């Protein structure tokens, strides 16, 4: 409609010699079909131009009414508000995890992350699946994860990790490349279906590449060779809801008075009954089953094994021991 008014005003100025105010007045009464009063008698050319202006304005008005009706009746205005609210919600996130693709692998990844109380943003192009996920309370970006704008919508600059679980290796490769370009510090984990894709994904910037088929096959073979060992390992959950849980704890999470010189001092002081099955030094070296005399420092990571209640008590102790910001 604005374009029609602009064209009409210009036409009256050049065809009839009107001033801009007179041209605007003539355009308004013509477009609105009011026909209140002409500024002056129209020339034959002006009459033809006015006829075309009336026809075009009626068409533009009808289209505007149709578009406006569709916007409200079909609920598109609600989608506009949802997009704005989603953007505002994601802009507030920090240190979250982005999961690209919500197939079988993506679903398991999200489930484990939720057990860790980790904030997850899902990018999925299947609209019905996205609708279900939103109803379940997940933060979902509808679209193709290989498109840069969808990664930006998911807050890739502020995320701590991204997991690419799409079934096509080339798509995962593109996502890893784009994510690494925008965030040099984040942890990137990718799924791979072909062995020759593993090296390419690592070169693209992936910190870890997982082949579900290879992992599944090795697991089944282990069930034949060492069934009891595998069953015991399956019984251990990574900070989940099972009876036995394994969790990593950074020493800088402990209160200052518990950062002692040996592991025995730390274990004795927390008195929660957990077992330290390993630790990782600041230089990346691992020590399995460290003894009480093991010297530790504030940069170590401890891998602790315990019941769900013991792990929960440890987390509660660390939470309340952290200084308030």
Angstrom distance (rounded) from CA 175 to CA 169: 10
Q: Which helix (H) or strand (E) holds 59?
A: helix 44-73
Compute the distance between CA of residue 166 and CA of residue 171 in angstroms, rounded to an integer: 7
Q: What is the full per-residue pLDDT of the chain (325 aa) written as tens digits?
A: 666 667 767 776 666 677 777 777 677 677 766 666 676 677 777 667 777 677 677 777 777 777 777 766 655 555 566 667 777 888 888 889 999 999 999 999 998 888 777 899 999 999 899 989 988 989 999 999 999 999 999 999 999 999 999 999 999 999 999 999 999 999 999 999 998 999 999 999 999 999 988 888 887 888 888 888 777 777 665 544 456 778 888 877 777 766 667 887 777 655 667 888 888 888 888 888 888 888 887 778 888 888 877 877 777 766 555 443 3
The answer to whether 251 and 301 have CB atoms below 8 angstroms apart is yes
- Tell me what pLDDT residue 129 has: 93
Q: Quick one: pLDDT at residue 1?
A: 60
Nearest to 304 by CA among 244, 243, 241: 244
Q: Could you tell me the domains of the chain?
A: 2-73 (1.10.287.70), 93-215 (3.40.50.720), 228-321 (3.30.70.1450)
CB under 8 Å to 86, separation ≥6 — which residues?
139, 141, 153
Radius of gyration of the CA atoms of the chain, in A: 32
Contact 162, 97 (CB under 8 A): yes
**Any idea how long the chain is?**
325
Residue 178, pLDDT score: 95
CA contacts within 13 A on the Cβ side of 113? 21
Give the pLDDT confidence of 195-205 residue by residue, as tens digits.
899 999 999 99
At residue 15, the pLDDT reads: 66
How high is the pLDDT of residue 323? 43
User: Other C-beta atoms within 10 Å of 137: how many?
Assistant: 8
Please tell me the pTM assigned to this model. Answer: 0.61
């Amino acid at each position: 409609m604005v374009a029609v008014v602009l064209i009409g005003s210009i036409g009256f100025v050049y065809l009839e010699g009107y001033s801009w105010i007179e041209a605007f007045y003539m355009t308004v009464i013509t477009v609105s079909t009011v026909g209140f009063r002409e500024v002056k008698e129209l020339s034959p050319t002006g009459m033809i131009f006015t006829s075309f202006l009336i026809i075009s304005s009626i068409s533009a008005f009808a289209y505007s009414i149709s578009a406006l009706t569709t916007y409200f009746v079909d609920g598109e205005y609600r989608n506009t508000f949802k997009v704005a609210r989603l953007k505002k919600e994601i802009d507030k996130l920090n240190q979250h995890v982005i999961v690209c693709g919500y197939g079988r692998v993506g679903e398991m990844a999200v489930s484990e992350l939720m057990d860790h109380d980790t904030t997850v943003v899902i990018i999925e192009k299947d609209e019905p699946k996205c609708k279900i996920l939103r109803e379940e309370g997940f933060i979902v970006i509808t679209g193709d994860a290989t498109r840069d704008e969808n990664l930006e919508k998911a807050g890739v600059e502020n995320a701590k990790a991204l997991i690419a679980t799409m079934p096509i290796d080339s798509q995962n490769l593109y996502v890893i490349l784009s994510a690494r370009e925008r965030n040099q510090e984040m942890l990137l984990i990718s799924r791979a279906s072909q062995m020759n894709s593993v090296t390419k994904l690592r070169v693209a910037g992936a910190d870890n590449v997982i082949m579900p088929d290879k992992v599944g096959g090795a697991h089944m073979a282990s069930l034949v060779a060492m069934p009891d060992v595998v069953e015991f390992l399956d019984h251990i959950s990574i900070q989940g809801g099972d009876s036995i849980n394994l969790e990593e704890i950074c020493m800088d999470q402990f209160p200052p008075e518990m950062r002692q010189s040996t592991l025995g001092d730390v274990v004795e002081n927390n008195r929660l009954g957990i077992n330290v099955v390993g630790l990782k030094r600041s230089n990346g070296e691992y020590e399995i089953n460290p003894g009480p005399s093991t010297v530790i420092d504030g940069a170590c990571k401890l891998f602790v094994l315990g019941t769900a209640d013991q792990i929960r008590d440890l987390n509660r102790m660390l939470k309340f021991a952290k200084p308030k910001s």
